[in-house]
Amino acid sequence: MRTHRDDRGQVAVEFLGMVPLILLTLALLWQVVLVGYTFTLAGNAADEAARACAVGDDGEAAARRHIDGAWSASGGGCGDVSGGMVHVEVSVEVPVLVPGLGGFLPVKGKAAAVYEEDLGR
């Protein structure tokens, strides 16, 4: 009769139980990185669109030139000009885990630049 219980293989069982939790944590961290990068892209695209609008160029085209093809963006049109400033807003969708597979959260980037035509050029 055996009175001592053998615990061989226990570490493997515990590791297999933790693998889904580890993978979920990594996926959530990657999603946070994508959200942060999308904020950076939206701000940069809005800055470029505002600069283009300030000199009379196409702001939407300037914004799209500075957005990677995997991200979907809208806006950037030359809109509100008040107080000698042109204000632009660009919206970029945060992708779900893999850029290019669709978005779930719109991120807005806003920028303004001095309207050059008001300077007498």
pLDDT per residue as tens digits for the range 18-71: 999 999 999 999 999 999 999 999 999 999 999 998 888 888 888 888 887 778
Look at the chain and report how many structural domains it folds into.
1
Domain membership of residue 4 (yes or no) is no
Q: How far apart are CA 80 and CA 85, in angstroms?
A: 8
Domain membership of residue 77 (yes or no) is yes
pLDDT band at 3 (very low <50, low <70, confident <90, very high): low
Q: Amino acid identity, residue 3?
A: T
Give the residue from 35, 49, 48, 31 showing the smallest Cα distance to 107.
Answer: 35
Domain membership of residue 86 (yes or no) is yes
Domain membership of residue 37 (yes or no) is yes
Query: What is the residue-wise DSSP string for 15-80?
Result: HHHHHHHHHHHHHHHHHHHHHHHHHHHHHHHHHHHHHHHHTTS-HHHHHHHTS-TTS-EEE-----
Span 40-53, pLDDT tens digits: 999 999 999 999 98
Span 56-114, pLDDT tens digits: 888 888 888 888 777 888 887 887 777 888 999 999 888 888 887 777 889 999 998 88
Domain membership of residue 5 (yes or no) is no
Residue 116 token pair: 């050059």
Domain membership of residue 85 (yes or no) is yes
Residue 21 sits in which domain range?
A: 10-119
Domain membership of residue 72 (yes or no) is yes
